[in-house]
């Protein structure tokens, strides 16, 4: 598991549109990596829409947004098309990325304990160092908080 202040291990992951994204290909950019439980669910759709609606503001700050869930690339393709998302969604069915960021947690689903992704967001600087994390994210106001944080980086 990577901690704030540490280098994020190199990763490569399949993404929507038949592409593959490697962390090393994003050097020089700040990366917002957000983990969400499931495509086409209420909270996850709202979060994706808010990142979409603020995408231009992130891009002006040289920030790349990447969403991650355990859903298949095909599911991501449909979700991206339906929500008109301008950023990639990474498929992590083997939970490799989830493991690096320690986002698989026990949850209660209708009285049953299940393992699932805890909604979390991570900011990686242009050198590949983890510089900020949000865990147990509540969707309301979260994207604005992330945007304010990455905006403050450029002010320093």
pTM of the shown model: 0.95
| Sequence-ordered strand ranges (E) for 12-56 | 12-15, 19-22, 30-35
Specify the pairing of strand 104-109 against strand 19-22: unpaired
Q: What is the pLDDT of residues 85-111, one digit of tens each?
A: 999 999 999 999 999 999 999 887 788
Would you state the pLDDT for residue 88? 98
* Token pair 């979409």 in the structure block, residue: 52
27-151 maps to CATH 3.40.30.10: yes
Active-site position among 23, 31, 44, 147:
44
Cα–Cα distance between 24 and 132 in angstroms, integer? 19
How far apart are the C-alpha atoms of 92 and 29, rounded to whole Å?
22
Segments of the chain scoring below 50 in pLDDT: none
98 among known catalytic residues: no
Domain ranges of the chain: 27-151
């Amino acid at each position: 598991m990577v901690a704030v202040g540490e280098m994020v291990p190199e990763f490569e992951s399949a993404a929507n549109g038949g592409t593959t994204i490697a962390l090393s290909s994003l050097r020089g950019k700040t990366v917002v990596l957000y983990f969400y439980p499931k495509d086409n669910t209420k909270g996850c759709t709202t979060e994706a829409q808010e990142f979409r609606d603020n995408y231009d503001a992130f891009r002006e700050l040289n920030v790349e947004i990447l969403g991650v869930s355990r859903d298949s690339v095909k599911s991501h393709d449909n979700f991206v098309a339906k929500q008109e998302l301008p950023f990639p969604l990474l498929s992590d069915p083997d939970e490799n990325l989830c493991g690096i960021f320690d986002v698989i947690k026990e949850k209660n689903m209708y009285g049953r304990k299940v393992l699932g992704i805890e909604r979390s967001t991570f900011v990686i600087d242009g050198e590949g160092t983890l510089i900020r994390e949000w865990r147990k994210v509540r969707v309301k106001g979260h994207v604005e908080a992330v945007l304010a944080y990455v905006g403050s980086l450029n002010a320093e």
